[in-house]
Amino acid sequence: MNKTRAYAALLKAEAYRLGFEFVGISKAEFLEEEAPRLESWLQQGRHGKMKYMENHFDKRLDPRKLVEGARSVVTLLYNYYPEEKQHDPAAPKIAKYAYGEDYHFVIKDKLRLLMAYLEREIGSISGRAFVDSAPVMERAWARKSGAGWIGKNSLLLRKGQGSYSFLAELIIDLELEADGPVKDYCGTCTRCMDACPTGAIYEAYKVDARRCISYLTIELRDKEIPESFEGQMENWAFGCDICQDVCPWNRFASPHNEARFKAAEGMLEMPAEEWFEISKDVFNGLFKKSALKRSGYKGLKRNLEFLRRSRK
């Protein structure tokens, strides 16, 4: 076995031991196919007010500009599908990924352990770990590594598991044997497109962030959500799982085994009226380690007030 294959096997074995559900490897190179797509999407303004998407265009497309001497991009998937859902069907909905502790911290901890292991076993390695926090085109790298295919809702889909997985990357200067992509298994299905209440999936494989409920409830920092979306939010207060919930591949989703993703005590049991009357102290106590901190108390209250108005 040559070194690139041996090192790849070593890395994958340890990553699986740490709880990752998939590990794939790509050669660190320019993402030629993605360049025109990204440029067109940005020029059309489909990213809305996420101005950070316009930054570091070259770095998004070439990992060697992010990590000097990069040879390999390692894609890792971590399951977050919960065993339990919110109990009150009338309660404002929270995206499943935000039930427990903020995934950035959980997965970064595991990536640090993985890097430390590689350095012990192989020697000095230069690189960086990324968890949705830098100009890295995660889904493009995941597709190249064979983690799955990009679905019509623009999310990564994986046979036998679906799309309820966090994506993370190691970009390192170690040469590893690369894996290859898998085929697209969406076929003629358009359930995600048909189910999106705001029409955000305006074309197969293309999403207009400005119409996406996740964007409107998390990324959009305006004082108010545009009135034109009243009655279309389907009770989502933070994020949205509609296009995932209707996807046939997610019938294979299995519950995660990560204790830190367990929902904060009492969160899933909260009835609708408690959500609408939530105080800042309760918010801070319940969500002190949660991704809901992303919107903050004011952001969540804005979303809840918008839903309340929509109910009238």
Are 240 and 217 in contact, with CB atoms under 8 Å apart?
yes
DSSP state string for 193-209: HHH-TT----BTTB--G
Nearest to 236 by CA among 162, 190, 303: 303
- Strands 165-172 and 127-130, bridge-based pairing: antiparallel
Which contiguous run of DSSP H or E holds residue 237? strand 236-238
Q: Which of 150, 181, 172 is nearest to 28 (CA)?
A: 172
Query: Has 179 been annotated as catalytic?
Result: no
CB hemisphere CA count around 3 (13 angstroms): 4
Among candidate residues 58, 109, 132, 194, the one labeled active-site is 132
Strand partners, 156: 150
Q: Which residues are catalytic?
A: 132
